[in-house]
Structures are given as structure tokens and as C-alpha cells.
Amino acid sequence: MLYLVHMIVDIPATLAPEEAARIKAEEKAYSQQLQRSGQWAHLWRVVGEYANYSVFDVPGNDELHDMLSKLPLFPYMKIGVTPLARHPSSIA
């Protein structure tokens, strides 16, 4: 099942810069692992924001929730999820 996920990151200014850097490095490693597996199918940055739109390809809601909640930046994110279905006019 495909999901469009909008993630907005808001790291508090009170978080130590070293801790923020460590979390970001863990986030990058985890996200790239999911991309290599094909579960994180697409990742696009939102210009001018600390945010992204991503497409995930996972079996269902529970798997997506588990995957997102394991993101190291999850505690600092606002996440919106839209399940996607094939459009009847799509030629793909």
C-alpha cells in the first residue's frame, strides 16, 4: 500500500547541538536503510522548510506507524499521512 507522508521537523532550540547532530545522523542512516529496502520509495525536500514529502510502500497502517515511530526525529515531528490508491485515469 502506498502512503504520502508529510513530515515537518521542529527541533527545540534547547536541545544541545551535539545531541541534535547525533539524532540527525541516526535519522539519515535509518532513512537510507528504508530507502534501500524500497519501503521509503520517494523523498522530497520542501524548499525553505525543515520538512519533506515522502512516499512509503508498506503492507499497511500498522507497519507504517511502526516505521515512522522509529525515526530518531519522530519526537520532534508533526506528521500527516494520506493513503494513496491508483487513479482510474492513470496510464501507469
**pLDDT at residue 22 in the model:** 98
Tracing cell 524548499 back to the chain, one arrives at 47
Residue 92: pLDDT over 90: no
**pLDDT at residue 82 in the model:** 98
- Note the pTM of the prediction, 2 decimals: 0.93
CATH of the domain at 10: 3.30.70.1060
On whether residue 89 sits in a domain, the answer given is: no
On whether residue 72 sits in a domain, the answer given is: yes
Counted domains in the chain = 1
Q: In terms of residue numbers, what domain contains 8?
A: 2-84
**pLDDT at residue 23 in the model:** 98
Tell me the CB-side half-sphere exposure of residue 80, using CA atoms within 13 A. 6
Q: How many CB atoms lie within 10 A of CB 54?
A: 19
Digit-coded pLDDT (tens) for 3-45: 999 999 999 999 999 999 999 999 999 999 999 999 999 999 9
Residue 51: pLDDT over 90: yes
User: What letter represents residue 80's amino acid?
Assistant: G
Percentage above 70 pLDDT, the chain: 100
**pLDDT at residue 84 in the model:** 97
